[in-house]
Amino acid sequence: MKKILNYISIVTLAAAVSCMDYGPKNESDFNYHGSDGLFIVNEGNFMYGNASLSYYDIDKQHTENEVFVNANGIKLGDVAQSMTIHNGLGYIVVNNSGVIFTIDVNTFKIVDIITGFTSPRYIHFVNDSKAYVSDLYSSKIYILNTVTKKISGSISISGHRSTEQMVQSGKYVFTNCWSYDNKILVIDSDNDLIVDSITVGIQPNSLVIDKNNKLWVLTDGGYQGNPYGHEIPSLYCINVSDFETEKKFDFELSDSPSRLCINNSLDTLYFLNKSVWQISADATELPTIPIIPYKGTIYYGLAVSPKTSEIYLADAVDYVQNGKIYRYTAQYVCIDTIDAGVSPSNFCFKFK
């Protein structure tokens, strides 16, 4: 009876999140205790409610698709954006549904459903009791109490449309304003206040911090006809102490680089620009030869294992049929092809 009541409670909460058809569906039991794994966040199609979550057992090279709906009996929702693991819980941010699901990372069962957002994108854990949630259509960053799983406040980003990814150095959290913007906002996480901003190129889409405590920012330059402008994309290296740009690498106007990420030793950066590219944190110029060449498909997501530096490359195929994930060694040898859901785009590693 308790299980039935809990299930009814979850379905009721999910129904309140949006008008999507969440279920119910038949449930399955999973148990992935003691395994290294990779969660694959499949966006699905906007307004189709076909976002999904896949799980790849890294050691056994075994994949389970649709693990969220199969574990919980309800669908994930509309446009799954990102996932982050903190203190044994997986936080899945579902953008158009305006919800964050927390799940047990071994059984995939729902632990909490967090609502109150407009269009959430990413979650960043400042410490064990506080997290920030960026938003695509809100002029604020939400402050989340990770103990109560409730929104406890917000940080105004007045003058900016939205925020995206977040990285942290000391007390400062850096977030990129991607939509019709060219700023990196600097947040004092002790006081939950924006204390500065850094001007970069048009549409900064991703950022990382390297071994030297330098902030790297990748911009895509917008597009032809963009009301905010169209310019050469660039890769910036910024000193986090004084917020000054130390290096800037320019691409070609026709390029559209994205998905900046970094290896486990924090000395090598990777990004997509049709092909997969690599650049040293000490480089003085952009690379000229890709490490994984373009093969006429749609490379849509990229991740590098923080444990082994293996590369995982998401192929959206055509954004309609199910996508693929290609697993490469740190030496760029393909060792597995993984079936995923529609539009796989983001990854989250789970280590035992």
Q: What is the pLDDT of residues 319-335, one digit of tens each?
A: 999 999 999 999 999 99
Distance CA 324, CA 339 (A): 5
8 A C-beta contact, residue 177 and residue 158: no
Reported as a single tens digit per residue, the pLDDT across 117-143 is 999 999 999 999 999 999 999 999 999
The single-letter code of the amino acid at 215 is L
Write down the pLDDT at residue 31: 85
Reported as a single tens digit per residue, the pLDDT across 214-269 is 999 999 999 999 999 999 999 999 999 999 999 999 999 999 999 999 999 999 99
Average pLDDT of every residue of the chain: 93
Write down the pLDDT at residue 297: 94
The answer on pLDDT for 22 being more than 60 is: no
The answer on pLDDT for 177 being more than 90 is: yes
Distance CA 159, CA 174 (A): 17
Mean of pLDDT values over 15-24: 47
pTM of the model: 0.92
Mean of pLDDT values over 53-66: 97
Distance CA 352, CA 350 (A): 7
Q: Which one has a higher pLDDT value, 43 or 20?
A: 43
| Residue spans per domain, the chain | 2-205+227-253+280-286+340-350
Q: Helix (H, G, I), strand (E, B), or coil: what is residue 338?
A: strand
Preceding omega of 24 cis (within 30 degrees of 0): yes
Question: What is the phi/psi pair of residue 203, to 5°?
Answer: 60, 70
Between strands 245-250 and 234-239, the pairing is antiparallel
CATH fold for domain 2-205+227-253+280-286+340-350: Methylamine Dehydrogenase; Chain H (2.130.10)
* Conformational region of residue 102, where left means phi above 0, alpha means psi within -120 to 50, and beta covers everything else: beta
* Look-up of token digits 């995982």: 312
The answer on pLDDT for 13 being more than 90 is: no
Per DSSP (E only), the strands in 87-228 are: 89-94, 99-104, 110-114, 120-125, 130-135, 140-145, 150-156, 166-169, 172-177, 183-188, 193-199, 204-209, 214-219
Reported as a single tens digit per residue, the pLDDT across 86-118 is 999 999 999 999 999 999 999 999 999 999 999
The answer on pLDDT for 81 being more than 90 is: yes
Q: Helix (H, G, I), strand (E, B), or coil: what is residue 4?
A: helix
Cβ neighbours of 128 (radius 10 Å)? 10
Torsion, CA 319, CA 324, CA 325, CA 329, rounded to 10: -130
CA-nearest of 138, 160, 142 to 150 is: 142
